[in-house]
Amino acid sequence: MTAKTRRLLLAFAVLGLGASSWSTYVHYSLLTVPGYTSFCDVSGAISCTQAYLSQYGSLWGVPVALGGVVYFATVLLIAGVAGQSSARGRENVPAYVFALSTVALAFVLYLGWASLFKLNTVCLLCATTYVAVIALFIISAGATTFPMTSLPRRASTDVARLVRSPLGLASVAGLALGTLALLNGFPRQAHAQTVAPAAAASSASTAPAAPAPALTDQQKMDFLKWYELQPRVSVPVELDGAKVLVVKFNDYQCPPCRQTFLEYKPILEKYKATGQLKFVLKHFPLEHECNAAIPSDLHVASCEAAAAVVMAQSRGTADKLEEWFFANQPSLTPDLVKQGAASVAGIKDFDAQYARALTLVKTDAGLGALLGAKSTPTFIINGHVIAGALPVPFFEAAIQQEISR
């Protein structure tokens, strides 16, 4: 391995580590900081939040950004420590990076496909890590000078050499401990699963939700200070005897809308059962056809989905259809919306009812724009406008605060 190759490997590993570390920080903040927004949430088409909070942003509840941190840190370790060892050790470095990069490249190609064709959005930080992975793959492939079939034999020799190196052992131990610390310190995240139409009607409601950790007194105090500073509006909806009115402006293709649908449902049901809370769903599709506040179409089936739920209300099947839409969110298209409306909600004349239902959707969207909604989800809790998804404990703290008044 030449000095130039080593410098290039180190440079792109540092670039990738910086981007993936920043991604991890943003993802963590989205889950733990009320109302957090990232610099890369430019629009619905360019959004880190949509990518991180989607089903493609985590694997078994662990953010994929953490995998990027571990991968790039490993490449740095190999190129940095092994690259300073013997001539034989330096010769093996590109092959090790190439082997790791082959797996990483397959993964980022999948994530890039999901982002562009499933979520219809671009994550700037994610794109930076993709560039770093591709560069590492190309550089290491060009610098590998021996058949990859000989790598296992070479690796056994290098491992034996590593065991005798205090610096090497310390570096590996540091990487392992750092990885465990990140995994243990990151809140787990659950997502709805994409399922077949026949099973989707019940899947979202039966998925168990992980219990959220309780807030400390200081966290609750800090949150309530922030909560009281949020904009206040007057919502033209009757309380009907409840103490708390929660209005949600929703888009069925918005990943945080699905997240809050799943995570807030037990909280809403608990307080609705006591008569203390009234929940009202309003439609705010991020699609210009039915929302004049949106200059361009950020989603392709949001208007159709909202209209279908309006149609289903008269049949008493709106709740089932809403669950189906969220369960199948990554693959929603206008045609799939019509299919779900027919099979789940019993709506056989979708096209005939569409214009009338769309008028009601437009009314909701107009109200949302009037009350200050600019994105989804937007919640209004007794007049407090909350843009984005609050972590579950903070959402319940807001409800409890309003009840205590």
Tokens of 298: 């950020």
Pinpoint the residues of the chain covered by CATH 1.20.1440.130.
Answer: 3-185
**How many angstroms separate the Cα of 60 from the Cα of each of 204, 262, 302, 389, 398?**
17, 17, 28, 21, 29
The whole-number pLDDT of residue 182 equals 66
Residue 181 neighbours by CB under 8 Å, 6+ apart: none
Confidence (pLDDT) at 135: 94
Q: Which two tokens stand for residue 347?
A: 């709506």
Report how far Cα 225 is from the mean position of its chain's Cα atoms. 27
Residue 405 near residue 234 (C-beta atoms within 8 A)? no
Lookup result for tokens 């243990």: 184
Q: Where in the chain is the domain with CATH 3.40.30.10?
A: 197-404
Q: Is the peptide bond before 285 cis (omega within 30 degrees of 0)?
A: no
pLDDT value of position 28: 79
- 280 bridge partner residues: 247
**How far apart (Å, rounded) are the C-alpha atoms in residues 368 and 280?**
12
Query: Which strands form 244-250's sheet, in the order they lie side by side?
Result: 277-283, 244-250, 378-381, 384-387
State the pLDDT at residue 35.
56
Q: Which CATH superfamily is domain 197-404 in?
A: Glutaredoxin (3.40.30.10)
Instruction: List pLDDT tens digits, range 78-96.
Output: 887 765 556 666 788 888 8
Q: How far apart are CA 136 and CA 153, in angstroms?
A: 23
Span 135-164, pLDDT tens digits = 999 999 988 888 888 888 877 777 776 666
Give residue 98's pLDDT. 92
Q: What angle do CA 330, 112, 40 make, to 5 degrees?
A: 85
What pLDDT, on the 0 to 100 scale, is given for residue 394?
93
Question: Which pLDDT does position 165 carry in this prediction?
Answer: 66
Measured distance CA(48)–CA(160) in Å, rounded: 42
CATH class name, domain 3-185: mainly alpha
Which residues of the chain fall short of a pLDDT of 70?
Answer: 1, 31-37, 42-45, 55, 60-61, 82-89, 161-169, 171, 182-213
Instruction: Write down the pTM of the prediction.
Output: 0.54
Is 283 exposed, middle or buried, given 0-12, 13-18 or 19+ CB atoms closer than 10 A?
Answer: buried
